[in-house]
């Protein structure tokens, strides 16, 4: 190969680094563990099983909800793990929460999961918004440290 062709073949065009949070998702093996915790939480919600929900959370976990009412007024509520779990008692209604295309970011022993959700009561969407989960890994096990979600009853498409 001539020196010019060799130089052209070895020429590398510089590329800007990927902006954090816009890269391809981590390999399935890495993201599947924290997602499994959120899936277990959703199964606990569907079963209305406070113990199962609590098993996905650290004992000092918290929850925050940003509510938007149909008239546009907004409130922020913050609650302890115990207060949140008190909302899940056995009953005849069917609960279901669905999250769509969750984004997962992992750095060492912390993870963040974010995605659009809807919440159904007896098969009917009653509110929707975005879920945000902060997880930590201790002793090889992922647990939810905080759940934050927005909640609205309009524009849910269901």
Whole-angstrom Cα distance, residue 57 to residue 89? 17
Provide the domain count of the chain.
1
Domain-embedded: residue 21: no
pLDDT digits (tens, 9 = 90+) for 66-117: 999 999 999 999 999 999 999 999 899 999 999 999 999 999 999 999 999 9
Domain-embedded: residue 3: no
11-33 burial, b for 16+ CB within 10 Å, e for fewer?
eeeeeeeeeeeeeeeeeeeebeb
CATH number for position 76 = 3.10.450.50
Domain-embedded: residue 15: no
Domain ranges, residue 61: 27-152
Domain-embedded: residue 19: no
Average pLDDT over residues 8-21: 53
Q: How confident is the model at residue 137 (pLDDT cuts 50, 70, 90)?
A: very high
Which of 7-21, 65-79, 110-124, 130-144 has the lowest average pLDDT? 7-21
Domain-embedded: residue 17: no
Domain-embedded: residue 16: no
pTM, two decimals, is 0.78
Domain-embedded: residue 73: yes
């Amino acid at each position: 190969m001539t020196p010019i062709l060799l130089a052209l073949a070895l020429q590398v065009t510089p590329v800007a680094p990927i902006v954090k949070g816009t890269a391809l998702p981590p390999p399935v093996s890495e993201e599947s563990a924290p997602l499994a915790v959120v899936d277990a939480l959703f199964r606990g919600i569907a079963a209305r099983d406070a113990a199962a929900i609590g098993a996905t959370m650290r004992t000092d976990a918290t929850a925050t909800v940003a509510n938007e009412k149909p008239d546009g007024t907004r409130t922020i509520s913050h609650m302890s793990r115990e207060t949140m779990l008190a909302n899940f008692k056995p009953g005849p209604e069917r609960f279901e929460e669905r999250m769509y295309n969750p984004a997962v970011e992992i750095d060492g022993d912390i993870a963040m999961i974010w995605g659009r959700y809807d919440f159904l009561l007896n098969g009917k969407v009653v509110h929707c918004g975005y879920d945000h989960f902060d997880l930590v890994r201790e002793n090889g096990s992922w647990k939810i440290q905080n759940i934050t979600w927005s909640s609205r009853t309009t524009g849910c498409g269901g």
